[in-house]
Amino acid sequence: MCIDAFKLMGLFSCCDFLFWFRGSMDLKDEMQRVRFWVNQIGNFCLRLVWHFVHLLVRSWYLGVGVANVIESYLISSGLLRRYRFIDVGKLRYLAIVVESDDACQISKVIQLLQWLQAFGVKHLCLYDTEGVLKKSKESILAKLKNATLFEEADERDPLLDQKHMTLEFASITDGKEAVAKGGNLLFMKYLKLANSGAEQKEQIFTEANLTEALRAVGYGGPEPDLLLVYGPARCHLGFPAWRIRYTEIIHMGPLKSMRYGSLVKAIYKFTMVRQNYGT
């Protein structure tokens, strides 16, 4: 009887253990399910918040775009009085940077130049990275009245007010060639001084030395007062950096969506800015 009692107690202990083990497994599965659904709900909420923020940003840019289109139309139609009288004389030299893919739209570039010519801009530089505009300069000049190359302008004062619009065509190769020639000129200059046997101090190339060397090799060029960038990128796309030290840069968006009112607004904003130059 004692043995049977012990066997019975052992059987009850095994059953209790099995029930406890099964209960703990059920609890663990339940916890995993809860954790899974919590993660799912959390991911859903995060996606919902991201889509909401994305919608807000898109709505903001859409609203800004619509406002800019309406403002551009009002400027073009002359309904906004403050844009009627602009002192374009403050804009002595303008640079237009066009992304190379947009530069293939020669008709758009010509239309832009015709707007600028009608607006009264006299001197400007056309730049694209791959030199597409430079290759098409003959066709561009043929479509413009009273336009001439910057190199053929009055050498005594190329920025002198003239009846003709002067155009300069540039690409990234001009900048590379300029730096190479300018650096070679400085190297030859100091090498000549070293070979002369004269006592020299440690030579440090300054900005003034580089500017003088670039002018000596014919790549100095005037510094634009304003640089307008047409393209998706918000940068000067390799325009010679030594020529834009004090230049105002404005991103105008893709060339295909250019608007006359936006062009007038950009020039107006430039003429209203007070610029202080150091000595």
For the entire predicted model, the pTM comes to 0.70
**Which strand (E) or helix (H) includes residue 23?**
helix 2-77
Q: Which two tokens stand for residue 220?
A: 């100095």
Q: What are phi and psi of 250, to 5 degrees?
A: -130, 130
Strands 94-98 and 226-230: parallel
Structural contact between residues 237 and 252, judged by C-beta atoms closer than 8 angstroms? no
Q: Where are the domains of the chain?
A: 1-85, 90-272
Please return the burial class of 191, using the count of CB atoms within 10 Å of its CB with bins 0-12, 13-18 and 19+.
exposed
User: pLDDT in tens for each of the 279 residues of the chain?
Assistant: 444 544 445 544 555 555 555 556 666 777 788 788 888 888 889 999 999 999 999 999 888 888 888 888 888 887 888 888 888 888 999 999 999 888 899 999 999 999 999 888 999 999 998 889 989 989 999 898 888 888 776 554 544 455 678 999 988 877 666 667 767 777 677 777 666 655 555 566 666 677 676 666 666 678 899 999 998 888 888 888 878 888 999 999 899 889 999 999 999 999 887 766 554
Tell me the CATH architecture of domain 90-272.
Answer: 3-Layer(aba) Sandwich (3.40)
